[in-house]
Structure 1
Amino acid sequence: MNEPKTGAPLTPHEHESLRLVIARAEIRSVLERYFFGLDARDENALHSCFSNEAYYEANTGQGRKIVFNGASEIASTLVRLMGRFEATLHLTASPFISIEGNRATADVFGSAQLCFAKPTEDGHVLVRGVRYRDELEKVDGYWRITRRVHTTLWQYNASSVEPFVPSANGIDK
């Protein structure tokens, strides 16, 4: 068994491996901040995910495609679009990230739950499977999405019900 090195400089292979681990973590952070920004309607969080020249294409189903350009337009438009919903929740699974120097790609599958109205108002929820194909670039020390293609893969609709947690003996009054 090899003993861990202490105080020795990293080999070129170790240095490159560490660089890739850090880059993947930074890219995942951008992806997570994007989904947080959507659900929190946080324009600043969304803006920070994109380059100033970014391209965003949303293929939303039934042949409909909408395009936004630039971090400011993308962020403000997404916040406005999410405002149609009472609440949303975006979940992602294991992005596939490929890194070459200061450029990267990410391919992410996820699901989106989009609630149209309060349950007491006969609300309904759209549940969608989505895919995001991203190109990213490290600019001024930060990873930014430079191109995103969003595709809705499938969808089903459900009725929303008012949240309810049953009473717990000795806790609820």
Structure 2
Amino acid sequence: MTDPDTLLDRMRIREVADLYFFYCDAHEPENVVKCFARDAVFRSATQAEMRLQGHAELEEGFRSFTAYGRACHSVATMEIHVDGQTARSRLFGTCHLSGKAEPGGPVFVRGLRYEDRWIVEDGRWVIAERVHEALWQFETTLIHRMLPEKPCAPVEPRR
């Protein structure tokens, strides 16, 4: 049975994982870096040239990512193993990326995996190393974002 402190640690780690996605989607690189240890490493398993280390590089890198346009990340599943003041996790998620978000423009949908090493720094769980891996991707077309002009047909209640 897992003790209450370990459960709380797992919840705190999951909260940071959610905040990381939120700050990425809100285009707040100055807050994204708060999810990382001061000397953290962010690297890509699928793009060897992608490697950022430390808050300054992380903030600059995530600021450049905002040029991709609007995004919405979602955590699908996450496995967390806590061992005292360190932890490891694996996270699967998706990202919808819409560039300028104009009708007819491309929308990319990606499946992602993150392998993370966590530490407690200044009393908070933070990512010490994150390995980002793009698992799959497809492209579709953005349609108009307004509600349809005609209401949908009414749905009869089940009896």
Shorter-chain TM-score: what band?
0.7 to 0.9
How much has 1:139 moved relative to structure 2?
1.3
**Letter paired with 1:67:** R
Aligned pair count reads 151
Q: Is the 8 A contact 1:125 1:157 kept in 2?
A: yes
The 5 Å alignment of 1:1-173 reads 17-60=3-46, 65-85=49-69, 87-120=70-103, 122-166=104-148
Secondary structure in 1 matching 2:100? coil
Which structure 1 residue ranges, 4+ long, deviate > 2 Å from structure 2?
117-120, 166-169
- Go from structure 1 to structure 2 and tell me whether the alpha carbon gap of 1:167 and 1:17 turns closer, same or farther (over 3 Å shift): farther
How much has 1:81 moved relative to structure 2?
1.2
**Letter paired with 2:129:** R
Q: Distance in 1 between matches of 2:39 and 2:78?
A: 23
TM-score normalised by the chain length of structure 1: 0.80
How much has 1:64 moved relative to structure 2?
5.1
* RMSD, aligned α-carbons: 1.8
TM-score normalised by the chain length of structure 2: 0.87
- Go from structure 1 to structure 2 and tell me whether the alpha carbon gap of 1:82 and 1:58 turns closer, same or farther (over 3 Å shift): farther
Q: Distance in 2 between matches of 1:65 and 1:113?
A: 23
Greater Cα offset, 41-50 or 94-103:
41-50
Q: Is the 8 A contact 1:84 1:116 kept in 2?
A: yes
Q: Is the 8 A contact 1:102 1:137 kept in 2?
A: yes
Q: Distance in 2 between matches of 1:112 and 1:78?
A: 15
Residue identity (%): 28
Q: Which runs of 5+ in 2 are unaligned?
A: 152-159
- The structure with the largest alpha-carbon Rg is 1
Secondary structure in 1 matching 2:12? helix
Q: Is the 8 A contact 1:137 1:146 kept in 2?
A: yes
Q: Distance in 1 between matches of 2:80 and 2:63?
A: 26
Secondary structure in 2 matching 1:48? helix
